[in-house]
Each structure stands twice: as structure tokens, then as C-alpha cells.
Structure 1
Amino acid sequence: MDARIPPRPIATPCIKVCMVDGQSGLCLGCHRTLPEIARWAGFSDDERTAILAELPARRDRIAPEKLGLV
């Protein structure tokens, strides 16, 4: 790899609101789990794409009043 070419940025759903809901185990900002957040940079593009596709449906697992906190 050419040292002059910067690495390609990794797509992330992070919105810089990092609070994990104890009941659902999901981040109130991006709806990922703590293990997913921790391993995000190590996932393949396909793994990240699969998780990103699941995130909108995960919002329903968080109590609506908690989402008002972010």
C-alpha cells in the first residue's frame, strides 16, 4: 500500500450521542450494541453494511421516552 494515500474512511452511524440504554443494550444515538461499537473498525465492509441495514428497525426496541433524551 502506498504510504502517501490516506486510508479510506470507515462509514459509521455514530452521531456523537453515546448513551447505552440498559434495557435494550443499544446506544441511544446509533442503535448499535457495545460489542458492535467496539469492533466497528475491525468489521468487514459487508459486516458493517449488514449492521447498518438493521439499525432503523432496532429503534423500536428502545422506549420512546428514552429517545427524547438525545
Structure 2
Amino acid sequence: MTEQSTPVRSPCTGVCALDEQDLCIACRRSGMEIAEWGVMSDEQKLEVYSLIRERELADKQKRSG
């Protein structure tokens, strides 16, 4: 029996608007990450989630001071 994993879900919230850094204001993915999401491996998608967390942290740091 093979082990079947759950696919990595898209972080898309349906807002889809890129800021001046080419990052979605809602999910924090780049335009290229959004465009390539459907052909990425689960490993690549998890890497994007790590980048999203880094971007969110940087955004919080900018806002706090």
C-alpha cells in the first residue's frame, strides 16, 4: 500500500492584487509564485510558504518600528 499525502493548499484568499514589490497584498506570494503554483511540487510549495512567513514577519517589523 502506498502512502498518499494531502496536497499543499494554495494560500490564495481571492484578493489577487500585487503591490509595488510584485507581492500579493493578501497571500504575500510574488506574481511568479502565483503563476507557477499549479506546476510546483509540494516541496516547492512548502518553500513558498516559508517565504510567505518571512515576508509577513518583515511586514510586521516595518509596521512596528
- Normalization by structure 2: what TM-score? 0.71
Structure 2 stretches lacking a partner, 5+ long: 1-5
Write out the 4+ residue segments of structure 1 that deviate beyond 3 Å after TM superposition. 61-64
Q: Distance in 2 between matches of 1:50 and 1:9?
A: 14
Residue from 19, 22, 42 that aligns with 1:21: 19
Identify the residue that residue 67 of structure 1 maps to in structure 2. Answer: none
Query: 1:39: how far off?
Result: 0.6
Unaligned runs of 5+ in 1: 1-7, 65-70
The structure, 1 or 2, with the larger RCO (C-alpha pairs under 8 Å, 6+ apart) is 1
Alignment of 1:58-69 (within 5 A): 58-59=55-56, 60-61=58-59
How many residue pairs get aligned? The number is 56
What TM-score, normalized to structure 1?
0.66
